[in-house]
Structure 1
């Protein structure tokens, strides 16, 4: 392997990073080469979570609110993927972060049947979000929202999945890389127990590749700070390459009738600020929240969404990693079961996509 190893990272802390083969600014339609650190755009890369798990005509698995412009579509159809990609690019989205639940799961089948057959796939990048709970939680004999790496089956399962991702997706011409490494978002790493960087190195060695890991680690309680989080800083060094938050929703903290932006500013921003001071941290924005579980809701508002983006794009890299790329995550493009969508819908049209594009462009002025 030609890239810096996980062992080197553990010794030296943050690495200097450059973006490799990523979609550039929509305004210029430029692609950045693998060594052009000085040409990294001032605006962040925009990544939106994408869910290829919808069956045409049958969305009865969970309740949801809203009316997709495309109706109850199937994500196994190339024409649907083509429209999603076109809309995403119109909204300034550089990459989809695709939910991955395993090689025989519906999401993998729909990727093969729909997304990868889209005629405009070369206009966008993609990465995976590894659904850790779905893949690993049961391997220690308990399904309890705790992933215990002291069990050999768990570590082996993670390494096996990493190898499959390398063999199946990481080499795709549209896969997103940072510093020559494929990007992989790890969902809820705060559920990992008995875990340290050596296990990442072992999994990478088994898989035969180095990976740029972005961990969904920050949350409430001890997870509010990288110094106290389970998998934040160890001996002053980050366990993972970078960190993000998929969704900071916590039902008990929601005030009736408030917007997603009001909630994020009050509850999430202090945590985000702590993590951004000492780790490479990629913020997320949340347009709204209305899940099928009966939790409280967070209202959506275009002005509110714009304010969130403005705040998120002000986050800078820590002094220990000044050259790390800037990224902004959107939760989500099309997670209808939790009501976090910006995909065009009857209720709000293209307003969220338009706002995303405009607000991110404004951030670079």
Structure 2
């Protein structure tokens, strides 16, 4: 009997409230606050991740102003790279970041990466812009299968690990390489997957070897998106000079985050920046994305679409959030990406939107 009464009460409540069930909106959220505009009194240093791809996905709607291109085995038409450099400089992008994978563990991609970097260097003969590299701890490289497989227990793998960084030295010391406080900046992707019994000891040894090779790099470790700053303390604590997250504004499948994305990112970055500085003695580098779509890779996706239909309004807000949370010392900003057309995250000009996003970057980060 009590069960029947409960069902009737719930049914009556549902009927009485039927017209009122519209649900809460983002406007009522505690996170719905106004983010102050940050004036640019001094230039920020802006980098952009450069993507290598072999072909052109048929689901890509946008068309580059430079024309459709591909980079089989890292070979890019010189005229395309020259246009990319000119556009980037015009838009206030200071340097491209190119992937650099292990010749010991990923020889094919190592050759492709090396070829693309040389293509940039040849096209940049006049020294119009800078470049940097991002060493990739991809799965199966040096991260191991799990935390139970630390790199110290495999002497051959540990030796190859240091050999890889030795191969990067000629790039770090070459003309046109991006510096931070007089140090060449070196990104390390998937840095949280370097499984070691003592990560600080590994990085201390790496820094000692760099010193022997005549280089003092500014190391930037990347951790996966939307992860709290304390998650990888044993991987980052006093290991790297700065930390960067994967872009929060790309591959976002969470509607709660999407509705108030600038505010959610602002809160996360404020906390992360302070935590990294206080706990790891590391700077923080904000990482933003001009747009993103799931539909190129997954046409049936129902995830949030960070589209270009707002004429760059959301990207402009994210630029401002990045300024709010950039390091006062280095003033570094990263954009992901320059040309990842497969996810529609590209900053590169397209026929439909022209140089819109370049203009936003220049206005937001340069005096």
TM-score tier (shorter): 0.7 to 0.9
* Map of 1:190 onto structure 2: 192
Match of 1:224 among 216, 220, 228: 228
Quick one: structure 1 residues 286 and 147, their matched pair in 2 at CA, closer, same or farther if it must change by over 3 Å? Answer: farther
Count of residue pairs the alignment pairs up:
298
Which runs of 5 or more residues in structure 2 are unaligned? 1-40, 104-109
User: Is 1:212 matched with 2:218?
Assistant: yes
- TM-score, normalization by structure 2: 0.72
Indicate conservation of the 8 Å contact 2:94/2:129, yes or no: yes
* Structure exhibiting the larger radius of gyration computed from Cα positions: 2
Quick one: structure 1 residues 344 and 219, their matched pair in 2 at CA, closer, same or farther if it must change by over 3 Å? Answer: closer
* Map of 1:26 onto structure 2: none
SS at match of 1:127: strand
Structure with the largest fraction of helix: 2
Shift, 1:118, TM fit = 0.8
Pairs within 5 Å for 1:54-69: 54-55=53-54, 58-60=55-57, 64-69=60-65
* Map of 2:362 onto structure 1: 357
Match of 1:298 among 303, 306, 315: 306
Quick one: structure 1 residues 94 and 313, their matched pair in 2 at CA, closer, same or farther if it must change by over 3 Å? Answer: same
- TM-score, normalization by structure 1: 0.72
Indicate conservation of the 8 Å contact 1:54/1:73, yes or no: no
Quick one: structure 1 residues 326 and 67, their matched pair in 2 at CA, closer, same or farther if it must change by over 3 Å? Answer: same
What RMSD over aligned residues (CA atoms) do the two structures have, in Å?
Answer: 2.9
Quick one: structure 1 residues 98 and 233, their matched pair in 2 at CA, closer, same or farther if it must change by over 3 Å? Answer: closer
Pairs within 5 Å for 1:82-121: 82-102=82-102, 104-112=110-118, 114-121=119-126
Quick one: structure 1 residues 215 and 177, their matched pair in 2 at CA, closer, same or farther if it must change by over 3 Å? Answer: same
In the alignment, the residues of structure 2 paired with residue 241 and residue 69 of structure 1 have an alpha-carbon distance, to the nearest angstrom, of 37
User: Is 1:160 matched with 2:163?
Assistant: yes
Shift, 1:331, TM fit = 0.9
User: Is 1:72 matched with 2:65?
Assistant: no
Which runs of 5 or more residues in structure 1 are unaligned? 1-40
Pairs within 5 Å for 1:244-263: 244-248=244-248, 249=250, 251-254=252-255, 262-263=260-261
Indicate conservation of the 8 Å contact 2:316/2:360, yes or no: yes
